[in-house]
Structure 1
Amino acid sequence: MSKITIDQKSVKTLFSEKKADFLIPDYQRPYAWGEKECQTLWDDLFLFAFPENNCDLFNGDDEYFLGPIVTFKNDEGKLEIIDGQQRLTTLMLLLRAFYAKYGSMKDDKAIKTSKMIEQCIWKTDEFGDPDKTALKINSEVATDKQKDEFLNILKTGVIPDNASSSYANNYRFFQQKIVSFQSEYSDWFSKLPVRIMNNCILLPIEAESQDTALRIFSTLNDRGKPLSDADIFKAQFYKFYSSKGQKEEFIQRWKDLEVLCDSIFHPITGTPMDEIFTRYMYYERAKQGIKSSTTEALRKFYEKNTYSLLKKDETFDNIIDLANFWNDVQNQSVERFSDRVLRRLFVLNYAPNGMWTYFVSVYYMANRNAAGSLDDEKFFDFLNKITAFIWAYAVTNPGVNALRTPVFAEMINIVNGQPVTFEGYLFHTQQVQNALNNYVFSNNRAITKSMLTWWEFQNPGQELLSLENALEIEHIFARKRQELEQSLSNPRNIESLGNKALLEKRINIRAADYHFADKAKYYLGGENSRKQKREGTKIKELLDLAAQISDFTEADIVQRNAKIIFGFIDFMHGNGLLSEE
């Protein structure tokens, strides 16, 4: 069990301790508090120190809780701040603003107050005298260009007139507040900083390791944006590229990558940047020959051997290249991909799980040429094969975890230049046919839309659709019709694949509860009763049905269902996934 130290402390006690040596690490986000947050803090502290605007109502035993500070002691003995960077930084600026004022005053209370503040801001000798070159806090925030400005403010109390960072603006704000306070409440002036230092409470939580500290932060923080794995990786890259004299170039490339990933990925958990690191991780796992179906947490994988993978020249370049590849997939780039490949990628976007994205990432990284291109014929064959396998596996072996074992083995084959065969995981024809016949293709199962998308794009006349299209599942023989007429001899046919198709959401809403002849009008489009143009569907099969038949009956459902199932089995056979035994 990880060791955690928790000990409530006043601002003065925490900051003035000999062990107080705080570090804002390079993976933290830049300082973000502005005047609004500083105004709130000032108002809260004032109301606490002078209840009901009365200095004498303050009880020396009262405490004001400022929040937790989560840290861990790094290898250099410094307390790396995982949570609390914003409030610690702001408190330091506030204390420094008080010190700038009190340091020039000669009365006893001012001198004593200055002495208290000195012990909070600077490291001191055994007599309590400050070394004004040694601050109690340091910042290494990777992309914060003004961090040196923060440290200079603490050291000197002076800011250039043209300084415009959040540090400088907040420091000026506190200076102005202190001047106004002194002018309006001169009799109370000596009490405010003392009451802040003695009676405002922080809850320092010191964890044994960075990992434990991050877990604590995630548990405590239900409002702020927690540090992602990618933030930790950014820090490692920053150190690596700084040592090569490429710090500024790295910062810009990282920002560009963040913007790109934000536009491509929308993961349910984690950040868009975490997603690209995850997809790249599977390529590196395959290169290392890792077949285990148990995947390590993202940061655990990259932190091996003190983040050695992130200290290689090619890693960041590869990740950027992979992100650009997925951007072209998302944008359906005709410059990079042929129409037939784009059609296969469209179908895979409706896969029953996300494993295909890792599979394709590994394939791309292992087979790209110097220009980032893939052999179209081989890539097309690969996409067909993994579509057939993933779809069949979703029906016969439900659950993405079951899919990992065969896919991880094939990822290793890919990086070793071997063809993808799924040897050892081939299907028997009767097994697949029975599974498809008995499977309940309800709308809430992802594989239902997957099968329908595959089927619609088996039609050579089906045009490529935009990935932005909102497609829903259409019951060609309406459920409402069955409820009213009870005309199906087998009620299960209403939910069979033979009765379902893809249809644009805007049309699906209007065509929901009509007889087929009425639905066909919506499929085909044209003019409505008010002579307004109504766009039809782009699903070729529905257009053909609407043009060729006047009704869609139970016999049509059964026949179409058989066509889909036998068509899929034939697709599997064509991709070499059916055993001859």
Structure 2
Amino acid sequence: MSKLNIDQKTIEALFSDPKTDFLIPDYQRPYAWSEVECRTLWDDIFSFAFPENNSDNFKTTDEYFLGPIVTFKNEDGKQEIIDGQQRLTTLMLLLRAFYARFGKMKDASTQLVQERVEKCIWKKDELGAIIKTQLKIDSEVATDVQKDQFLSILKNGDAPDSMKSQYAVNYRFFQAKINEFLNDYPTYFAYLPARLINNCILLPIEAESQDTALRIFSTLNDRGMPLSDSDIFKAQYYKFYSSQGKKDDFIKKWKELEELSNKIFHPISGIPMDELFTRYMYYERAKQGIKSSTTEALRKFYEKNSYTLLKSEETFENLRDLADFWNDVSNQSKDRFSEKILRKLFVLNYAPNGMWYYFVSVYYLHNRDTDGNLDDDAFESFLEKIIAFIWTYAVINPGVNMLRTPVYAEMVNIVNDKPVSFDEFKFDINSVKAAFLNFSFNNGRPITKAMLAWWAFLEDAQELLSLETVFEIEHIYAKSRQDKEKSLTNAKNLEALGNKAMLEKRINIRASDYRFEDKKKYYNGYINSRKQEKKGTNISELLSLAKANDDFIEADIIKRTNDMIERFMQYIVENELAQ
């Protein structure tokens, strides 16, 4: 059983201990606390130390808990901080700001507290004298280019305006708050820092090894602390590459991968690097033959067998390759992808759920060649099939949970060099058609825009559209027209699929007029009264409708709806998904 040293301590007891020698290691995240967190910390400490703004209301037995600190002693005898880095860093900045202010004061009580604070910031020699060149904390965070400012502030007590780091910003904030406090409570000034170091409590948890510290870190994360899975993975990789004598190389590559992930992934929850590890997880699940629709939590998957997956250069190189692939998808790279593939990928960008990301990741990692390329025809066929399948499931079996069973099975087929066929999940066309005809394609359902994106790109004339352009759903027969004319015999046709199209947001705002003849002007583009050119839409079908029609009426809605659904049924058949 691993040994732990756990004993709650005051800030003074912990920081002034001669054995205290904190190190923020290479693999940690850069300092991220902003003025918001600093203000909260200051307000909480002040409210604790001066209850109801009255120093006399404080009891010397009161305690304020600031949270846990998880460390382990490394080979150099330093206490590597696994959790609590942000809190410790900020407390050091606060203590240094107090110490800098003490230097301008001469009263005995203030000087007494000053001596106690300096023992928290600097080390002492064997005779007990303070060594102001040796701090109680050091930072080696590889991705933090401004850590030198942190160390400079602690050593010199100065953060001029030329320093732009978050360390400097927060230090100047504390300086301002301390000055305000001194003006408001001049005779009680020494009490606030004294109560901070004497009555504010930390819970240092010192593990005997990095592995144990990481497990504690992991457990704290399970209980709701805002720690990312990829930080844990980074620590595992750091250990592995360090054992290979490649620590510096890993730090450089990790930083590059993190920056790339931040650029291309925008998950609803978690951080971008977690999203990359999630997409890669499905490839490893498939290789292990896992078809279960129950998906393990990300960290639970990777921590199996003592993080065996992360003790491999191949895994890390696969992650880098996968990130490069998705970067090229997001950039619509014509160097990697043909026009026909980019068109399919654009449509998938409007998929009714995110399952396609994982599906395509598995396909890419298994079928790529040594240069990271895919067979164009085979990839197109795969993309066509998953569009047809995912779109259909969104209507007949809505919800991503229903999609897991068929898709996970096909992921396993991919890594076993079997064709993606969905043999056990083929559709009865008549049933699917009935479901589509009775389905309410309202704007709040993702499948509505997904169908419109698919439909737009059936036209050969449709040019590739930018993923950065914001598209909204256009009612070709305007809602305001129905309000005024009441010319639809069936009001439900207003929300029918055949009355909708994708349209650029900038145009959709202007094209809301109820008359089709005015809509045509906006679709085509025009010159306004100030001789400014207003560009039209890039949706080819809307341009065709504007050219061929003087009006768009209920009969057109009905015909277009039927055309869209009939063509999608044909699409299902073409992709061999019909029974």
TM-score by length of 1: 0.78
Instruction: In structure 1, give the amino acid aligned to 2:237.
Output: F
SS of residue matched to 1:424:
helix
Alpha-carbon distance in 2 for matches of 1:151, 1:519: 62
| Shift, 1:243, TM fit | 2.3
Q: Report if aligned partners of 2:362, 2:411 keep a CA contact under 8 Å in 1.
A: yes
In 1, the alpha carbon distance for the partners of 2:530 and 2:116 equals 84
CA contact (8 A) 1:351 1:447 kept: yes
Deviations 1:13-42 (A, max 9, x none): 455789989775665323467999999999
1:382-461 matches, cutoff 5 A: 382-461=382-461
| Aligned twin of 1:213 | 220
Q: Deviations over 1:405-438 (max 9, x none)?
A: 1111111111111110011000011111011011
Equivalent residue letter for 2:567: G
SS in structure 1 opposite 2:502? strand
* Counterpart contact for 1:236–1:311, Cα < 8 Å: yes
- Show the counterpart of 1:376: 376
**1:70 touches 1:81 (CA, 8 Å); kept in 2?**
no
Measure, in 2, the Cα distance between the counterparts of 1:520 and 1:169: 56
Deviation larger for 139-148 or 299-308:
139-148
Residue 552 (structure 2) pairs with residue 552 (structure 1): yes
Matched residue, 2:284: 284
Conserved 8 A contact 1:507-1:537: yes
CA distance in 2, matches of 1:190, 1:528: 69
- The 1:123–1:288 alpha-carbon spacing in structure 2 relative to 1, beyond 3 Å, is farther
- Any conservation in 1 of the 2:12–2:116 contact (CA below 8 Å)? no
Provide the residue aligned with 1:204 in structure 2: 203
Tell me the equivalent position of 2:210. Answer: none
User: 1:183 corresponds to which residue?
Assistant: none
Matches within 5 A, 1:130-141: 141=141
**Shift in CA distance, 228/355, structure 1 to aligned 2, threshold 3 Å:** same
Tell me, yes or no, if the aligned pair for 1:258 and 1:273 is still in contact at 8 Å: yes
AA aligned to 1:232 is: I
Shift of 1:122: 7.7
Residues 72 and 213, structure 1, Cα contact 8 Å, conserved in 2: no
- Mapped partners of 1:322, 1:562: distance in 2: 40
Shift of 1:352: 0.4
- Read off the aligned partner of 2:289 and give its amino acid letter: G
On the 8 A contact 2:265/2:275 being kept in 1, the answer is yes
Counterpart check, 1:466 vs 2:473:
no
**Residue type of the alignment partner of 1:235:** A
2:59 to 49, 58, 61: 61
Checking the alignment, whether the CA contact within 8 Å between 2:72 and 2:81 is kept in structure 1 is no
Task: Tell me, yes or no, if the aligned pair for 2:351 and 2:447 is still in contact at 8 Å.
Answer: yes
d(CA) in 1 for partners of 2:272 and 2:436?
Answer: 35
Mapped pair 1:497 → 2:497: yes
Q: Deviations over 1:489-548 (max 9, x none)?
A: 222111111111111111111111322222112212233455432211111111111111
1-structure distance, mates of 2:250, 2:426: 46
Equivalent residues in 2 for 1:18-33 (5 A)? Answer: 24=24, 27-31=27-31
Matches of 1:245 and 1:21, distance apart in 2: 25
More displaced stretch, 88-97 vs 298-307: 88-97
- Conserved in 1, the CA contact under 8 Å of 2:50 and 2:57? no
In the other structure, the counterpart of 2:327 is 327
Distance 2:531 2:168 in 1: 62
CA RMSD of aligned residues (A): 5.1
The one-letter code of the counterpart of 2:302 is: Y
Q: 1:532 to 1:197 in 2, by over 3 A?
A: closer
Shift of 1:257: 1.7
**Structure 2: where are the runs of 5+ without partners?**
158-162, 180-186, 206-212
Cα distance in 2 for residues equivalent to 1:61 and 1:120: 26
Which 10-residue stretch deviates more, 527-536 or 20-29? 20-29
Cα deviation for residue 442 of structure 1 reads 0.4
Q: Which amino acid aligns with 2:230?
A: A
State the distance in 2 between where 1:375 and 1:261 align.
25
Question: 1:68 corresponds to which letter in structure 2?
Answer: L
Partner residue in 2 for 1:304: 304
- Decide which moves more: 300-309 or 57-66: 57-66
How far did 1:275 drift?
1.2
Aligned residues: 555
The answer to whether the 8 Å contact 1:28/1:227 transfers is no
Among all aligned residue pairs of Structure 1 and Structure 2, give the percentage whose two residues are the same amino acid: 58
CA distance in 2, matches of 1:334, 1:167: 39
Aligned-partner Cα distance in 1 for 2:347–2:292: 28
Q: 1:39 to 1:549 in 2, by over 3 A?
A: closer
Corresponding residue of 1:336: 336
Moved more, 519-528 or 347-356: 519-528
| 1:88-127 alignment, distance < 5 Å | 88-89=88-89, 91=91
- 1:209 aligned counterpart, secondary structure: helix
Q: Distance in 1 between matches of 2:416 and 2:22?
A: 47
Q: Provide the secondary structure at the position in 2 that maps to 1:266.
A: coil
Q: Where do residues 240-259 of structure 1 align in structure 2 (5 Å cutoff)?
A: 240-259=240-259
Question: In the aligned structure 1, how far is the partner of 2:290 from the partner of 2:355?
Answer: 16
Residues 166-189 of structure 1, C-alpha deviations (whole Å, 9 max, x = no match): 89989x99xx99xx9xxxxxx999
Deviation at 1:404, TM superposition (A): 0.7
User: What's the counterpart of residue 293 of structure 2?
Assistant: 293
The offset of 1:193, in angstroms, is 7.0
Q: Distance in 1 between matches of 2:524 and 2:120?
A: 79
Aligned-residue offset at 1:12: 3.4
Separation in structure 1 between the aligned mates of residue 272 and residue 376 of structure 2, nearest angstrom: 28
Q: Does 1:235 align with 2:238?
A: no
**Counterpart AA for 1:373:** N
Q: 1:572 to 1:124 in 2, by over 3 A?
A: farther
- On the 8 A contact 2:289/2:412 being kept in 1, the answer is yes
Distance in 2 of aligned mates of 1:453 and 1:167: 43
Q: In the aligned structure 1, how far is the partner of 2:442 from the partner of 2:37? A: 51
Distance 1:566 1:149, change over 3 A: closer
Amino acid aligned to 1:61:
K
Change (3 A) 1:558 1:237: same
**Hey, what's the Cα distance between the residues in 2 that align with 1:513 and 1:165?**
50
Residues 71 and 204 of structure 2 are in contact (CA less than 8 Å); yes or no, is this contact kept in structure 1?
no
Q: CA, structure 1 residues 437+50, in 2 after alignment: closer, same or farther (shift >3 Å)?
A: closer
Map Cα deviations across residues 296-331 of structure 1 (whole Å, 9 max, x no partner): 111111122222111101111111111111111111
CA contact (8 A) 1:516 1:550 kept: yes
Q: Does 1:260 align with 2:260?
A: yes
For the 8 Å contact 1:113–1:194, the answer to whether it is kept is: no
Instruction: Please give the per-residue CA displacement for 1:40-75, whole angstroms capped at 9, x wherever unaligned.
Output: 999998999899999xx7788357877522245769
CA distance in 1, matches of 2:332, 2:398: 30
Q: Deviations for 1:261-312, whole angstroms, at most 9, x for unmatched residues?
A: 2221211111111111111111111111111111111111112222211110
Amino acid at match of 2:281: M
Q: Which amino acid aligns with 2:259?
A: V
Q: CA 1:136/1:294 → structure 2, altered by over 3 Å: closer, same or farther?
A: farther
Distance across 2 between alignment mates of 1:387 and 1:432? 15
The aligned counterpart of 1:184 is none
User: What's 2:364 paired with?
Assistant: 364
- 1:270 equivalent to 2:270? Answer yes
Q: Counterpart of 1:221?
A: none
Q: Secondary structure at the match of 2:423?
A: coil
Shift of 1:356: 0.5
State the distance in 2 between where 1:135 and 1:338 align: 57
Deviates more, 1:245-254 or 1:405-414: 245-254
Change beyond 3 A, Cα 1:477–1:114: closer
* Partners of 2:364 and 2:316 in 1: CA distance: 16
Note closer, same or farther for the CA distance 1:25–1:227 as it changes in structure 2 (3 Å cut): farther
Amino acid in the other structure paired with 1:564: M
Q: Which runs of 5+ in 1 are unaligned?
A: 181-186, 219-225
The Cα shift of 1:338 comes to 0.8
After superposing the two structures, state which structure 1 stretch, 367-376 or 145-154, moved more: 145-154
User: What is the CA–CA distance in structure 1 between the aligned matches of 2:31 and 2:490, rounded to whole Å?
Assistant: 65
